[in-house]
Chain A
Amino acid sequence: MTDALDRPTSILVLGGTSDIALATVRALRSPALHRVVLAARPSAGREEAVASLTADGVAGVTAVDFDAAATESHEGVLAAAFATGDVDVVLVAFGVLGDQQEFEDDPDLAVEAAQVNYVGALSVCLRAARHLTGQGHGSLVVLSSVAGERARRSNFVYGSTKAGLDALASGLADALHGSGAHVLVVRPGFVRTGMTTHLEPAPLSVTAEQVADAVVSGLRRGSTVVYVPAAMRVVMSGLRHLPRAVFRRLPI
Chain B
Amino acid sequence: MEDVLPPTLLTGWGRTMPSRAVVVRPGSVDDVVTTVATAGPRGVLARGAGRSYGDAAQNGGGVVLDLAALSDVEVLDDGDVVAGAGAMLSDIVPLLLERGRFLPVTPGTRFITVGGAIAADVHGKNHHVDGSFGAHVRWVDLVTADGDVRRLAADGPPDDVALLAATIGGMGLTGVLVAARFATIPAPTPWVRVQTRRARDLDALMALMVEGDDDHRYSVAWVDGMARGARLGRGVLTRGDHARPDEAPRRGRAAAPLAAGPPRLDVPPVPVSPLNRLTLAAFNEMWFRKAPRSRDGEITGIAPFFYPLDAVGGWNRLYGRRGFLQYQFAVPDAGADVVRVSLERLAGIGAPSFLSVLKRFGPGRPESQLSFPIAGWTLAIDVPVRTPGLAAALDDLDGHVLAAGGRLYLAKDSRAVPATIAAGYPGLPSFRALRADVDPHGVFVSDLSRRLQL
Instruction: Show the binding face of A for B, using Cβ within 8 Å.
Output: 1-7, 9, 30-32, 34, 85-86, 133-137, 178-180
Contact = CB atoms under 8 A, between A and B. Distances in A.
A137 B451 contact: no
A4 B450 contact: no
A136 B20 contact: yes
Contact of A1 (B14, B391, B447): B447
A137 B42 CA distance: 12
Contact of B325 (A1, A4, A133, A137): A4
B323 A134 contact: no
Interface residues of B, number: 30
Contacts of B447: 1, 137
17 contacts: A1-B17, A1-B60, A1-B450, A2-B17, A4-B16, A4-B54, A4-B325, A5-B325, A5-B394, A7-B391, A32-B417, A86-B450, A133-B61, A136-B7, A137-B60, A180-B20, A180-B61
B385 interface: yes
A34 B19 CA distance: 20
Contact of A4 (B9, B42, B61, B385): B385
A180 B9 contact: yes
B369 interface: no
B174 to A, nearest CB: 21
Nearest to B54: A4
Given A31-B395, A179-B20, A180-B20, A3 B414 contact: yes
A9 B17 CA distance: 13
B84 interface: no
Residue among A1, A31, A135, A136 facing the most chain B CB atoms (10 A cut-off) = A136
B62 A4 contact: no
Contacts of B7: 136, 179
Q: Dominant SS at the A interface?
A: loop
A175 to B, nearest CB: 14
B123 to A, nearest CB: 22
B61 A135 contact: yes
A34 B20 contact: no
Contacts of B21: 136
B415 interface: yes
B418 interface: yes
A134 B42 contact: yes
Contacts of B19: 1, 135-137, 180
A2 B451 CA distance: 8
Interface in B20-69: 20-21, 42, 54-55, 59-62
The 10 residue pairs across chains A and B that have the minimum distance between CB atoms = A136-B60, A180-B20, A4-B414, A4-B16, A136-B61, A136-B20, A137-B19, A135-B61, A136-B19, A3-B415
Contacts of B394: 5
B390 interface: yes
Contacts of A30: 391
A216 B426 CA distance: 35
Interface string B406-447: 000000001101100000000000000000000000000001
B450 A7 contact: no
Given A4-B323, A85-B450, A136-B61, 11 more contacts: A2-B17, A3-B451, A4-B385, A4-B415, A32-B415, A135-B19, A136-B7, A137-B17, A137-B18, A137-B20, A180-B61
A243 B18 CA distance: 44
A68 B190 CA distance: 70
B414 A180 contact: no
A7 B415 contact: yes
Contact of B62 (A2, A85, A136): A136
Contacts of B20: 133, 136-137, 178-180
A178 B42 contact: no
A216 to B, nearest CB: 12
A137 B19 CA distance: 5
